[in-house]
Chains A and B, each alone.
Chain A
Amino acid sequence: MTKLSRKERMQKAEEMAGISFWVDLRKGRLTKYAIQKQVKHILSMIFRYVILICLSFVVITPLWNLIRDGFTAPAVLGDKSTTWIPQQFSSIFMDIARSKSLMDYWPSLAYSLFNTFILTFLQVLTTGLAAYSFARLKFKGSGILFFCVVLTIVVPSDSIMLAQYAAFRNFDIFGLIGLINGTGVGLNLIDKPISQYILAASGMGVKSGLYIYFMRQAVRGLPISVEEAAHVDGAGFLRTFFSIVVPSMSGSILTVSVLSFLWNYTDTYYTGLLNRNTHHLAYQYSQLQGNVRWGIETAAKANKDWITVINASDPFMQTAVISSCAILVVVPLLIMYAFVQKRFVQGAARSGLGGD
């Protein structure tokens, strides 16, 4: 007996059961119902693709414009007849954008990714724990605290900006640090990555409130009986959380991680407020507007090939370089997401639970 591969087994099963349209067609045993079903299927697919492609067009256009501008050759820049594809390609603007005087790309990318990984991890951990607590481990006052979660989503960050800055300018919890170093003054954590880490770990980072809310809803969507069973079998609360709840809501955690990563990576608000590191890509990008001319000039001076074709005061060149910088910021995220999205799979949390 030879062992059949999965595909072969499926094929055999289809032939026997008559569930594939094409097999039925070949064998000449099509029923009216089968044809109806197939037509419906094809129509729904056409519908799906038409709408998705149309909407994708809307979504991609701005990105495509950036790419087009970034890869245009300096000679044909600003050409009015260009719509979608530049008349002459060149990677010169990308090279300028990557150079040391503008983005200093590879070190900056490494720093940004590293920093963002830490922030995402801390943020997801804290908000996940908090969300589980809000959903299942209720105590007196957790309702009021949950109201505070909604508050953190609603309150505009501008209105607490100064006070947050002050809290890190003179970082002190319960006056303990001042007591220890004897001066009565806390630490100055401004422009240090640790200030962002503290904010993320204490669940006040970029859009933390949304993550708590979302994961709380996800936990409430899980059947409680599994957790009860874990408790009956003697698992502690930490163990229940990490080995029962986390795996069964992995889809939501993945979504939150993706969002958290995207937002921390592109965040300029907290970076600008607390950690003005010139190596953070999105922050660098947000600072370009005033500096782009100087940056292009310096880059052109450093490279002989560029100095002849580049005119830093040309607004078209400036926008082209800015577009190139934007591509450099965005593309790593897209590549990473393309890999991650494969893990978005149908959850099977509720299968195998009789009676629920």
Chain B
Amino acid sequence: MKKDKKTAAPKPGLSWYKRMDFSKKTALWGMIFLLPWLIGLIFFFLRPLINTVWYSLCSMQMENGKFVGTFNGIENFKWVLGVNAHYNRMITTALTDMLKAVPFQIFLALFIAILLNGEYRGRGIFRAIFVIPIILATGVATFKLREASLTAVAVESVMDMKWLENLVINSGIPAELTSLLVTYVNDIFTVVTTCGVQVLLFLSGLQAISPTLYEVAKMEGCTQFETFCKITLPMVSPTILVCLVYSIAESFASAEVPYNDTTIRLTAYIRQITFNGASEYFGYGAAMSLIYFVVTLVVIGVICGIVSKGVFYYD
């Protein structure tokens, strides 16, 4: 009886929600779910960001303790890219370093995550160990742990890689390739300490793969390599995309770039320019950050545009 009543046309004006069709309901709830984030986005992100964009197009003046901007077009950008001697080189260095480091980082992170995943003795300890880099890479490392240790036992001295380097160089492989390989091998320690987050993300991605898939593959006689290519890789491909975005952004944020015979963090340099003291530098700093994140966005857009073609989703 009740069911009959429900299928009858609802009274007009009473249950507007029930009469809504499903796609509209979906959209409505989509907005509701997004609401807290949207408020934050507008007030704590977009407004500051638009300010930055505006500053980058202005010449800033200090008047009565307040910043006043007068529009001057692309003068700031001209200064940053033309007059400033460092910025061009910094951005290109950051870019090439990123292109070299990120693929290796992703590869190593996936490799470690696969090793950590699975059934073996002591996996709890190993998993806990590979979280240490995440902790040490954040605020706690502001003191540069290497310097904080009294008798510096550099890892490099314990595992000397010179013989390996010589071996590769003398093996007759093209020089460009060997130099890249050598940098990878030399960097392996630093890369391991910077890919903690990616390892954790991959681990979670690997664990979301249903064991039944592997069972089927085994039954059908897949080799380990085939299983990896046909099951593991497609199933973690969404995570690869996330890791790529994160790695690229992080690589730019922590890029060490050449500056007057030493190196400096790109973000630190931008901050240094922004709070230089002279008020017109405020506009220059804004222009620098704008260029910085537009470059990062373009790189992420291009790389992820290519990679996302091969990403597998259930929907």
- Spell out A's residues near B (CB within 8 Å): 45, 48-49, 51-52, 55-63, 65-66, 68-69, 72, 77-80, 82-84, 126-127, 129-130, 132-140, 142, 145, 148, 150-156, 158-160, 162-164, 167, 173, 199, 201-204, 208, 210, 212-214, 217-218, 220-224, 231, 237-238, 241, 249, 251-252, 254-255, 258-259, 262-263, 266-269, 282-283, 285-286, 288-289, 316, 319-320, 322-323, 326, 329-330, 333-334, 337-338, 341-342, 344-351, 356
Contacts and interface: CB of A to CB of B under 8 A. Distances in A.
27 contacts: A55-B192, A59-B193, A69-B150, A78-B151, A80-B151, A129-B36, A139-B31, A142-B30, A151-B297, A155-B289, A160-B48, A160-B52, A163-B47, A163-B48, A163-B51, A173-B43, A201-B36, A210-B246, A217-B242, A220-B314, A237-B25, A237-B33, A258-B200, A282-B138, A285-B140, A347-B209, A351-B210
Given A164-B44, A330-B140, A65 B153 contact: yes
A223 B33 contact: no
Nearest to A266: B138
Contact of A204 (B28, B40, B208, B270): B40
Given A133-B34, A269-B139, A330-B140, A217 B270 contact: no
User: Taking each of A208, A217, A262, which has the highest tally of chain B beta carbons within 10 Å of its own beta carbon?
Assistant: A217
B127 A322 contact: no
B197 interface: yes
A167 B146 contact: no
A139 B131 contact: no
B76 interface: no
Interface string B63-81: 0000000000000000000
B151 A224 contact: no
A43 B251 CA distance: 36
Contacts of A326: 140, 143, 145, 148
Given A52-B116, A220-B313, A252-B204, A133 B30 contact: yes
A356 B136 CA distance: 42
Contacts of B270: 156, 158-159
Interface of B: 22, 25-31, 33-34, 36-41, 43-49, 51-52, 112, 115-116, 120, 124-136, 138-140, 142-143, 145-146, 148-151, 153, 155, 189, 192-193, 197, 200-201, 203-204, 207-213, 235, 238-239, 241-242, 245-246, 249, 252-253, 267, 270-271, 274, 285-286, 289-290, 292-293, 296-297, 300, 313-315
B271 A158 contact: yes
B48 A137 contact: no
Contact of A202 (B43, B126, B274, B297): B43
B27 A140 contact: yes
Contacts of B126: 52, 56
Contact of A156 (B34, B45, B242, B289): B289
Contact of A346 (B153, B193, B201, B207): B207
A83 B153 contact: yes
A201 B120 CA distance: 39
A224 B138 CA distance: 37
Most chain A CB neighbours (cut-off 10 Å) among B37, B116, B192, B210: B37
B85 to A, nearest CB: 22
B216 to A, nearest CB: 11
A127 B139 CA distance: 23
B39 A63 contact: no
A158 B265 CA distance: 13
Contacts of B44: 164, 167, 199, 202, 204
